[in-house]
Amino acid sequence: MSEPEIAAKEPDVRTLEPGTYYWCACGRSKDQPFCDGSHKGTGIEPVSFEITETRQVALCQCKRTATPPFCDGSHKSL
């Protein structure tokens, strides 16, 4: 398994509608913070998550969070 790439050193804060989403865990997606299939061959799989009501979220882009897909502030120590 390879190390995830750092896509950005700040979270992506956005409002999401209810639905299932796939968070990029490898850092290679061109559609950050969501998966576009670029992880193939890395041994790193995307993380699926469900949003049940419209809400604002902070999605990790440094790929070092302990609470994927949500930012836990890990980017501050990079």
Tens digit of each residue's pLDDT (9 = 90 or more) over 4-40? 999 999 999 999 999 999 999 999 999 999 999 999 9
Range of the domain at 73: 12-77
Q: With respect to residue 7, please indicate whether it lies within any of the assigned structural domains.
A: no
Counted domains in the chain? 1
What is the tens place of the pLDDT at every residue in 51-76? 999 999 999 999 999 999 999 999 99
Residue 49 CA from chain centroid, whole number: 10
Q: With respect to residue 48, please indicate whether it lies within any of the assigned structural domains.
A: yes
Q: With respect to residue 22, please indicate whether it lies within any of the assigned structural domains.
A: yes
- pTM metric for this prediction: 0.94
Q: With respect to residue 51, please indicate whether it lies within any of the assigned structural domains.
A: yes
Q: How many CB atoms lie within 10 A of CB 67?
A: 10
